[in-house]
């Protein structure tokens, strides 16, 4: 079975632009989460969606938004990009919520803002 897949793998954007990152969870997984990993640091939680509803939001500005589609895939949108948004954006999926639901990560989308 395919793991969590993300696209694009690398992209370069200019300050002030908008970016959309996409994620396909593991087949059968209904929960998708997004994390931001700045170089040299641990991933930071941005959003979690389960059954197409937002179930958790991290401490990120409103420029960050996400949604989950009926097929459980998800996209993360970031508006008005800042240099500080340069990071690896990780998508993770799990079968459901609660104890026993292992979280699996994709390989991420590298975003560089210039």
Residues that bind another protein (CB under 8 A): 4, 31, 33, 35, 40-45, 48, 50, 55-56, 58, 90, 92, 94, 97-108
Q: How far is the CB of 15 from another protein (least distance, A)?
A: 25
Peptide bond into 72 cis (omega under 30): no
Q: How far is the CB of 108 from another protein (least distance, A)?
A: 5
CA distances from 105 to 3, 15, 16, 90, 93 (A): 8, 27, 28, 7, 7
C-beta of 13 vs 58, nearer to another protein: 58
C-beta of 5 vs 65, nearer to another protein: 5
| Other Cβ atoms closer than 10 A to 113 | 19
Counting Cβ atoms within 10 Å, is residue 84 exposed (0-12), middle (13-18) or buried (19+)? exposed
Q: How far is the CB of 77 from another protein (least distance, A)?
A: 20
C-beta of 44 vs 86, nearer to another protein: 44
């Amino acid at each position: 079975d395919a793991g969590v897949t993300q696209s694009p793998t690398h992209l370069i954007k200019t300050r002030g632009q908008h970016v959309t990152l996409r994620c396909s969870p593991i087949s059968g997984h209904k929960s998708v989460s997004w994390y931001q990993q700045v170089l040299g640091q641990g991933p930071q939680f941005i959003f979690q969606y389960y059954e197409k509803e937002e179930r958790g939001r991290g401490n990120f500005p409103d420029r960050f938004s996400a949604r989950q589609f009926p097929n459980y895939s998800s996209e993360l949108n970031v508006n008005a990009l800042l240099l500080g948004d340069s990071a690896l954006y990780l998508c993770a999926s799990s079968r459901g919520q609660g104890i026993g639901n292992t979280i699996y990560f994709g390989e991420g989308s590298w975003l560089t803002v210039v």
